[in-house]
Structure formats: C-alpha cells, structure tokens
Structure 1
Amino acid sequence: MNSNNGNIVCLVMNPFNSFCYTRTIATPGSCMVFNGYFSLRNYYCNDINLRSINDVPELCVETVTPVINIQNNGANDLTSLDIEYSVNGGAVETYTWTGLLTSLQNEDVELPEVSFTIQPTGNTIDVSIPNDDVLTNNDVSTSFDQAVNGSGTVYMELNTDGYGGEVRWNVADENGNVLYNGGPYGNNQTINETFQLNAGCHTFNLIDTYGDGGGAVTLTDSNDVEIFNTNGAYGSGVSQNFGSDGVQVILGVEDVITNQVVMYPNPATSILNIKNAENATIQVFDILGKELMLVPNISAQQEINVSNLQTGTYLVKITSGAVVTTEKFIIAR
C-alpha cells in the first residue's frame, strides 16, 4: 500500500478472478475494492475483527484456556497481533500471535492457560486487541459458572428408550482417564451404577450413536446433590464437569445396593452374600472389565464363592429384569 496526493493505493486479491490488482480511493484510512468495472466493498487498511470466544463449560478447576477467533477485515496482511486477556478482572495476560492472515481470512487462536479464583456464578473472560481503524470489534467476553461439587460417591440412574443399543457413557478424571463406562444396553431398561471417586475434577460423558438422545439420566451424590439431569433430549451427546471431595460411602455389612438388595461383607475374604435378589443374574468382573464369574437365577440369599479371587477390587453386576446394578467390592486377606 502507498499514498500519493491524499489517495491510498491498495494491492488486494481479486475475490472473483484470483489475481492481484491496484485500486485507488481518495478517502484516507480505507481502501475501496473494484473488480475493474464496479465497486465491491470498502476495506479499512487495518481492521482486525475479534470475532468470538468459545463458550467455556462449567469448571471445577481454577485454570482456563480461552480459544478465540480473529479475522482480518482489512486490506493489509496481518502477521502479528498482541492479544490481552484476563479472568474475573484479574491480572492482564498478553499473548503475541504470529502468522499470516490475508484480507477476510480468519483463524482460531488458543491462548495460554491462565489461573484465576473461581466464583460460583458469573466468571468472566475478557479479551481485547489494540486499537486499529475500526474500534467496534476489538473486544469480546464470555461468562461461565463453577461446576457442581459433590461427594466421592455418585449414583447414576440411566433409562434406555426403545433403542438402548445406541447409548454409551463414561466418567473420566481431569486427565482424561476413563474410570467407568457402559453401554450399549437393551431396550427400555433402567441401569443403576455407583461411582467411587477420588478428590478432583471429573467429567460425565453421555453419548447416543444415532444422535437423537434416549431416556432420562440422573447423577446424584451420596448427599442427594444433583450433579446431572436430562430428560433424554441430549442429541448425539452431552458432557458435564463436576467436582468430587473424595469422601466415599464405603459398602459394609448390610449396606443396601438397590431398594432391597443387600451385599455383604465388603471387604470379603472367601464368601460374598447377596440377599433379596431372587432370580437375578450375578456377574463378577475384574477392574479391567473381564468377566470372571457368572451365576444365573440366584436364590433369595445367595452365597458367591470368591475364594479363588486375588486380593484387589472387583465389580459385581446384578441384573434383574430391566434393572441393572453394578457395585464395587474388595477382596482382602
């Protein structure tokens, strides 16, 4: 670009014919684009549009990595941009983006992680870029809330619809390690699971492979705090972050698993007793999900011989009609 007698000359790529050509306009600070016959639009020579900032989910950690989108609305190429951002009015961080954006190109930019003090609601990320020829598109902000904090024991009730084979779910820790998972299931079933979680942040992921949701799903902790609830309208899937204080309800003698089913002792040594689950099917799995034992059509007071199991943690799955319950038990000797 150069200036001559008050005119500004801009070299801009022709959007229709893909070649560069020169135009002149008598208005300092802007460049009018022609295709050789008529005006297409006015360009400011330097106009960076801070288009958007990605929505931030509810968080249970006090760090965030904002992602923004910048667009070059000017005629001049953009090769460097100083971006300032802060959370909840805290210290202003500066990140210098470098690259190449020609006129009308845009790019997502992930800003470095920033620490902050989280509030229950109304946490705000503010992002700004330096003043240029247009001042109305140099700032953007977004708000987010703190995730629900629960205990270390969380109960899930999942109801399948007429297409239970489409549903999947998992619970992951803050590093993305999957701690629990399940699905697919049969149609019109009620699935009950218990998650024993250490202190920290976790994510519940609910998936429908067809993309039209399924049945109602709820997560509540041992203090009856609701962590997640959907009536089934979750489309292809939904994720929910939540915190755990690590305080777990440990199953002991005569602890209730379902409304009336009881499993004891826990920890066990050689015999695991299951009461009030007559005609149910019992499956025992190791922590990796390998089935070790299958006992169909159990009695009202069933003894399960676990003497051959090594010391460690196992899962017992109790299936009674459409109701499925999975619980942990421990072998300790």
Structure 2
Amino acid sequence: KITPIIRIRNNGSNPLSSITLKYRIGNHPEQEYTWTGNIGFLQSKNITLPEYLFTPQNPSTLKIYIDKVNQLQDEYRKNDTLTFQLTDPKTVTTLLNLWIKTDNKPEEITWNIKTIDDSLVASGGPYTEANTLIKETITVESEHCYQFSLYDAGGNGLCCANGLGFFTLFDDKNITIVEGTTFGSEVLAQFYSQSGVGIEDISTQNLFVIPNPAKHLAAINFNMTTMGKVTLNIYDMNGVRVSKTVSKIFPKGQQKLELNVEKMSSGIYLIEMIMPDQKVLRQRLIVL
C-alpha cells in the first residue's frame, strides 16, 4: 500500500478552490480524490491522497493526473500529469552533486531536497542564465531518507520547445540518483544517505573521461590488466546506442581513446566498456 503526497502549484491567475485528481499504479484500478481549500497564484500546497492498495512489482509506475480544477476541465493540460517509478530508494553518500544545463527559460526551474517529514535541506533556482551548466554541491546527513524534487513552471521539463537542457543528481562516488531531460512539470526521486559504507566506488574501476563535461573532444582513459579485446558502446538516456560499436585489441597498461562529441546533442550519455574478462565498466559522459 502507498499514501501518495503530491505538491500542487497554481500557475493560473485564479485561486484554486477544488482539484479532482485521479491516480493508479500500473494496470490496477484508478482512484479519484477531490481536494478542497485555497491555493493562490504561484502558491504551492502538499496534498495527501487516500491510501492505495496494490500488488507490488519492481518497478511499478504511479500515475497521478488532474481531471478537474474548480469543477472545470484544466485549461493547461501540459503540466497536469505526474508519473513516478516506485523502486527501492538508492543508497548514496552524504555529498551530492546536482548539475543542471538550463534551457532558454532558466527562470522556470527550481528544485529542493527535503527530509521524509518535509523539512527543507537545500534548494535552488529560479536561475537567470540560459543554456548554462550550473553545478550545485549539497551535503546531507547520514542514515536519513530524502526526497529530491525538480520543478519546471512551464510544464515541459528541459526539452524541447525552449531548447535542450538536462539535469543529473549524483553522489561523490558517481552513483546516479536521478537524471533526465523531459519530465513535464515535476520530477521526484527518493534516496537514502550513508557514509560511504558498502557503496561501490566507480573510480576504482579505472575508467575516466577527461574533460567531463565535454564540448569538442573527450579522452576515455582506462587500464588494461592484461592484453585483450575491449568493446565500447555509448548510449543516450533512453538506452539507445548512439555510436558505432568499437571492438579493438589493446595491450596491457594504461590506454586512451579519443572521442569527438561535436556532433552529439547536448545531454547525458552512458559509456559502457566490456573488458577482456567480461567485466563491464560504466561512466557518465556529459556533452555541452
């Protein structure tokens, strides 16, 4: 069972006195709830939905959408739907990095990190510089659960009518919490913080990309413990391979591959390298 809590922001000129919401998980039956109260222009409010019973799957998709506002159909349907993947929260360290590449309307982007009891830990935005990579560093306490929220007041995420941007939230061990481009008006992600215990350090896998972010050329550096064949693939955020597979024999020792990213669209990519012993190394690549 789950008791969803969502945050509603009024981007219209009229106060909100009632909102009819519908929600479901996967193919389970849809539930309806009508909230009444008052939300003024550009004000926000958390709304707790009634408990929902379902058979868990991993992952399960929760879909919530607004059916009516003030007893009328919503005039702006672009930002009235929220989808959320219900998976076990990722365990990360206490030092987090949030990178946001703004689109042409940076003033629409805001974010926050809160504890599970809704206490504010960190926040940012709205921003003023368009098409700019913004890097935020956040420190959270260990042994706590948190929720990250990213909002777009325009309801179209960081793509595509206002240019192409992206965001990625990851810890100092390079563990990704959430990242993306298209998310409508809001994206949510929960995570659990821990002081590095039991967390895989990707840097020990000897795969580095320099510079990262890259705009022209990126050097993929890796170490070969023995001579053998290495297979390299690059995927976008949708899991689509965007480069030809490189399969080559490398000698033992430190190696470097140069990658021209000038023709790649701005965004986040995943470099996958299959080593001779079939061990798979992965690293994030950000193209500006």
Q: Which has the higher contact order (CA 8 A, sep 6+)?
A: 2
Q: Which has the larger radius of gyration?
A: 1
TM-score for both structures, normalised by structure 2? 0.39
